[in-house]
Amino acid sequence: MLRTSSEILKPIREKVEAGERLNLEDGVLLYSDEVPLPELGELANLVRERKNGNFAYYNINTHLNPTNVCVYRCTFCAFRADLRDEKGYWMSDEQVLARGQEAVNAGSTEMHIVGGLHHQAKYDWYRKVISLLHENFPSLHLKAWTPVEIDWFARLTGKSIRWVLEDMVDAGLGSLPGGGAEIFHPEVRNKICEHKADSNRWFETHRTAHELGLRTNCTMLYGHIEEAYHRIDHLLRLRELQDVVLQEGWGGFQTFIPLAFHPDNTGLDHITKPSGPMDLRTMAISRLMLDNVPHMKAYWIMLGVGTAQIALSYGADDIDGTVRHELIYHDAGAETPEILSVDEIRRIIEETGREPVERDTLYHRVQRDESGWRAGEAIAVAN
Ligand code: V47
């Protein structure tokens, strides 16, 4: 006899309601058309509200991509340039400092720094990007470098990942962003970015950062050549590290950001961008599978404002920030604005019935007065 969609979802619903873990088979099933999106969203929202109530977090942030010239040729990337490309650039110290000043003038609490691996740049230059910003603008939290960069720095210096991370912290690094994760499973990773840091190296970097007490984010790039199995495998690998980290009482993953593939100007431009329903399904499944990660981010730059708003009821509790100078998605065809004002981002959240809360990178409430901003109380998240 045919089972109705409610019957198919029932065992998973029971697990979620009881606070039990979902497994690989559950996750793959949730990606099937037999599971209706509204019911899936309702379950994810249950977990989201259990953990984060009615709050929706945002920050005031600025991006810095110090160079787009890159030795790697990931097929999904529209941002990179060859050494002699006309679009290639490599920022001077003055340009980096000007970006820092602009960020501080705009009230930013965070600078998100990632970029290409320039054929001619030495490790000391990457370190200087961090130390210059930290020394001149100490109030800015520097969320910088993915494991792909940290791995490259280890190769450039002949040192370990731990050494590079400690040296970068010494220069002013505050945390790691979530990029470079793509899809961990080698069946996919070897096709879309075969040369750069593999999943073992990615996890070694985050695990070491966590051991050093740093907080980090994590991502998944979906909607290209991967299948449901690869996505769930990816989420489970993240959940496994977070289990260890929480048990040891180290830093850990704060936020997961599902990243929808944007095909324009990439080596995969024959693929259609994931649909709104696929974006919402992936957000909801991520919330349900990653039961030990406190926050889910609906990155409005990548989802579009409308889908990001709906995602706040499909598992997400964070919408990223005001964002200025974003290049990675805009080079790949994103049609979202380049920046939102604080009033706009708060309105976007309020329109969904959620309560906007400005946070800093490490999830403290931000308090502002005429003299500037300071980190207030830590944001509590229920298990
Ligand atoms: O690692 C690159 C992805 C990532 C494309 O930590 C693409 O708070 C889609 O990690 N289509 C960088 N995705 C962005 C990132 C991020 C973004 C926002 C917040 C945080 C955070 C992290 O973007 C890359 C790669 O996975 N990416 N090209 C593309 N064409």
Give the Cβ contact number of residue 248 at 10 Å: 12
Distance, in Å, from the CA atom of 135 to the CA atom of 132, rounded to the nearest integer, reads 5
pLDDT at 5 exceeding the cut of 90 = no
User: DSSP string of 18-29?
Assistant: TTPPP-HHHHHH
* Residue 220 in contact with ligand 1 by CB distance below 6 A: no
Domain carrying residue 298: 5-378
In a domain, 383, yes or no: no
Tell me the per-residue pLDDT of 302-320, one tens digit each, with 9 for 90 and over. Answer: 999 999 999 999 999 999 9
In a domain, 127, yes or no: yes
383 close to 196: Cβ distance less than 8 angstroms: no
* Residue 257 in contact with ligand 1 by CB distance below 6 A: yes
Half-sphere exposure of 202 (CA within 13 A, CB side): 26
Q: How many helices and strands in the chain, by DSSP H and E?
A: 15, 11
Q: Residue 1 has what pLDDT? A: 62
- For atom 18 of ligand 1, the residue with the nearest CA is 299
In a domain, 373, yes or no: yes
- For atom 21 of ligand 1, the residue with the nearest CA is 177
Task: From 259, 264, 323, give the residue whose CB has the most ligand 1 atoms within 8 Å, as the site to mutate.
Answer: 259
Lowest mean pLDDT among 6-15, 129-138, 198-207: 6-15
In a domain, 322, yes or no: yes
Residues 6+ apart with CB under 8 A from 298: 283, 307, 308, 311, 312, 316, 318, 319, 320
In a domain, 364, yes or no: yes
Q: How far is CA 62 from the centre of its chain?
A: 14
* Residue 179 in contact with ligand 1 by CB distance below 6 A: yes
The overall average pLDDT reported for the chain is 96
Q: Residue 4 has what pLDDT? A: 82
Tell me the per-residue pLDDT of 24-48, one tens digit each, with 9 for 90 and over. Answer: 999 999 999 999 999 999 999 999 9
pTM of the model: 0.97
In a domain, 87, yes or no: yes
Task: From 328, 329, 330, give the residue whose CB has the most ligand 1 atoms within 8 Å, as the site to mutate.
Answer: 328
Residue 31: which CATH number? 3.20.20.70
Task: From 221, 265, 325, give the residue whose CB has the most ligand 1 atoms within 8 Å, as the site to mutate.
Answer: 221
Tell me the per-residue pLDDT of 317-342, one tens digit each, with 9 for 90 and over. Answer: 999 999 888 899 899 989 888 888 99
Tell me the per-residue pLDDT of 114-141, one tens digit each, with 9 for 90 and over. Answer: 999 999 999 999 999 999 999 999 999 9
In a domain, 330, yes or no: yes
* Residue 197 in contact with ligand 1 by CB distance below 6 A: no
For residues 1 and 89, the model is more confident at 89
In a domain, 35, yes or no: yes
Please give the tally of structural domains in the chain.
1
Tell me the per-residue pLDDT of 278-296, one tens digit each, with 9 for 90 and over. Answer: 999 999 999 999 999 999 9
**Percent of the chain at pLDDT exceeding 90:** 92
- For atom 15 of ligand 1, the residue with the nearest CA is 179
* Residue 189 in contact with ligand 1 by CB distance below 6 A: no
